[in-house]
C-alpha cells in the first residue's frame, strides 16, 4: 500500500526581496515565521499527511503579500497573519468553506490561459 495522496497542497510564498527593491516582499522581518506556523498548526491538528504545505518562490502577487495558494480550487489568500492562517485551516481546510474575506481580490486575477495560448502570446509558436 502506498502513501495517500494529499487532499490539499498549500503553496506559501517565501520570496524575500533585498532592501530597495520596488516590489514588496512576502517575507519580511515581522512575518518570517508564517510558514513554520502553518506547518505547526497542520501537525497539531493531525493534518500533515493529507495537507501538504510547500515553500515556494514568488507567486507574482507581491502587492498582496504575504500570500499562499491553496489547491485544489486555485484559491489565493492575501495579507496573511497567524490568525488568518488558523482560520483558513479551520474553515477552509477542515470545514470545506474558503474564507472569502481573506481571498485575493477578484481584480488581481484574469481567467487562466492555456500553455498553447501563452506560447502564441510570447511569440514562441
| Band of residue 110 on the pLDDT scale cut at 50, 70, 90 | confident
Q: Which residues pair with 51 in a beta bridge?
A: 8
Query: Comparing 51 with 65, which gets the higher pLDDT?
Result: 51
Say how many residues make up the chain.
Answer: 125
| DSSP secondary structure code for residue 75 in this structure | E
Tens-place pLDDT, residues 24-38: 677 776 677 899 999
Tens-place pLDDT, residues 34-50: 999 999 999 999 998 89
Res 9: pLDDT: 96
Judged against a pLDDT cut of 90, whether residue 103 lies above it is answered with yes
Judged against a pLDDT cut of 80, whether residue 82 lies above it is answered with yes
Q: Is 25 in contact with 65 (CB distance < 8 Å)?
A: yes
Amino acid at each position: 500500500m502506498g502513501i495517500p495522496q494529499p487532499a490539499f497542497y498549500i503553496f506559501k510564498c517565501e520570496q524575500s526581496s533585498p532592501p530597495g527593491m520596488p516590489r514588496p516582499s512576502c517575507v519580511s522581518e515581522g512575518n518570517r515565521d508564517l510558514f513554520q506556523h502553518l506547518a505547526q498548526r497542520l501537525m497539531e491538528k493531525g493534518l500533515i499527511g493529507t495537507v501538504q504545505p510547500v515553500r515556494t518562490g514568488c507567486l507574482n502577487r507581491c502587492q498582496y503579500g504575504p500570500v499562499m495558494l491553496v489547491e485544489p480550487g486555485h484559491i489565493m489568500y492575501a495579507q496573511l497573519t497567524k490568525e488568518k492562517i488558523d482560520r483558513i485551516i479551520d474553515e477552509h481546510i477542515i470545514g470545506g468553506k474558503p474564507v472569502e474575506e481573506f481571498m485575493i481580490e477578484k481584480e488581481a486575477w484574469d481567467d487562466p490561459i492555456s500553455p498553447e495560448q501563452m506560447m502564441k502570446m510570447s511569440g514562441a509558436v
